[in-house]
Amino acid sequence: TLRFVPMNASIRARDLFDQQQERLGLSWIAGERGEHRVLEAVDTVARRPSLAGYLNIIYPNKVQILGTEELAWLDALDAGQRTETIEKIIRFRPLAMVISKGQPCPDDLRSAAEASDTPLWGSPRRGHELFNHLQYHLARKLAPRLTVHGVFMEIYSIGVLITGESGAGKSELALELVTRGHRLVADDVPEFTQIAPDVLDGACPDLLQDLLEVRGLGILNVRNMFGDTAVKRNKYLRLIVHLARPQPQQTPQTDGYERLIGDLGSRRLLDLDVPMITLPVMAGRNLAVLTEAAARAHILRIKGVDPAAAFMARHSHFLERAAS
């Protein structure tokens, strides 16, 4: 079951300032009443402006950075052009404007920001540092995201999402994997963010950090029970292991090819097709060992090692030799 987070993910000017203040040495110059100004993810979809960039009044950025060259360009304008340009910048309602390298703020820019409640910040950092940090931070905060019902773990250094119907044994399997030295990322509702075209980053909501619910035992704090090495804050998703319980009076039907390669498939999450392997849940099966084997086999496939293909090639060679 997929539970999509609403696509109107957003960030306030005050939140961005607080999150980056220490790292970028930000100070609030003017327009502090605009701290509730909001940038929503929908504002960044299919639009020409970028999230952050140097001053641009043709394709305005959401966060306008004013470096030495930008301030010098403003100073070169005559009084009428300068006033009109500043008004145009303000009219685009950027989330914030940032003056780099601790440069003095022009009085008319300060007055315009204060009058329009446009956040105006200063920073001792150079323009490219501001651009890199703010662009990266905003892109992650506003990236497409979803939550999936399951348990997300790190197994043999790769992120593995364990899914299945309620009562299939996902949490019990996760607990056994933790005791075998693997690490828990999130139980029940891991959050996945598409931070790059081919990367889904999974993490745990703050409310559920380090917690694992096991039927009969209740909620367990994995960090307290097994130590700091038993949990991990986030991980890239590489594989889905789906636990499927055979339905009553249903006889599993598998052809010879599936028995060779396993029940392999994929699952669409956001814009990515994530490899998925389905493991039948039946009495007497050691799911922890099977899940570890699935992770190891996936790592080998990534490296180009395919035992099924090698076996079929060996079988064909054997038939050719027998025929000759």
Tens-place pLDDT, residues 171-220:
999 999 999 999 999 998 899 988 888 899 999 998 999 999 998 899 99
| Average pLDDT over every residue of 131-157 | 90
Q: How confident is the model at residue 124 (pLDDT cuts 50, 70, 90)?
A: very high
pLDDT at 70: 94
Average pLDDT over the chain, rounded to whole? Answer: 87
Catalytic status, residue 183: no
Catalytic status, residue 232: no
The catalytic residue among 33, 128, 180, 259 is: 259
pLDDT at 49: 66
- In angstroms, the CA 191 to CA 11 distance is 17
Catalytic status, residue 108: no
Catalytic status, residue 259: yes
How is the beta sheet containing 52-54 ordered, strand by strand? 27-30, 120-122, 96-99, 63-66, 52-54
The catalytic residue among 37, 170, 183, 242 is: 170
pLDDT at 215: 87
pLDDT at 204: 93
The catalytic residue among 149, 223, 245, 267 is: 149
pLDDT at 251: 52
The catalytic residue among 62, 182, 183, 188 is: 188
| 145-149, 277-281, 292-296, range with greatest mean pLDDT | 292-296
Helix (H) or strand (E) holding 11: strand 10-12
244, 258, 263 from 253: Cα distances, Å: 14, 10, 11
What is the total residue count of the chain?
324
| Average pLDDT over every residue of 16-23 | 94
Predicted TM-score (pTM) of this structure: 0.73
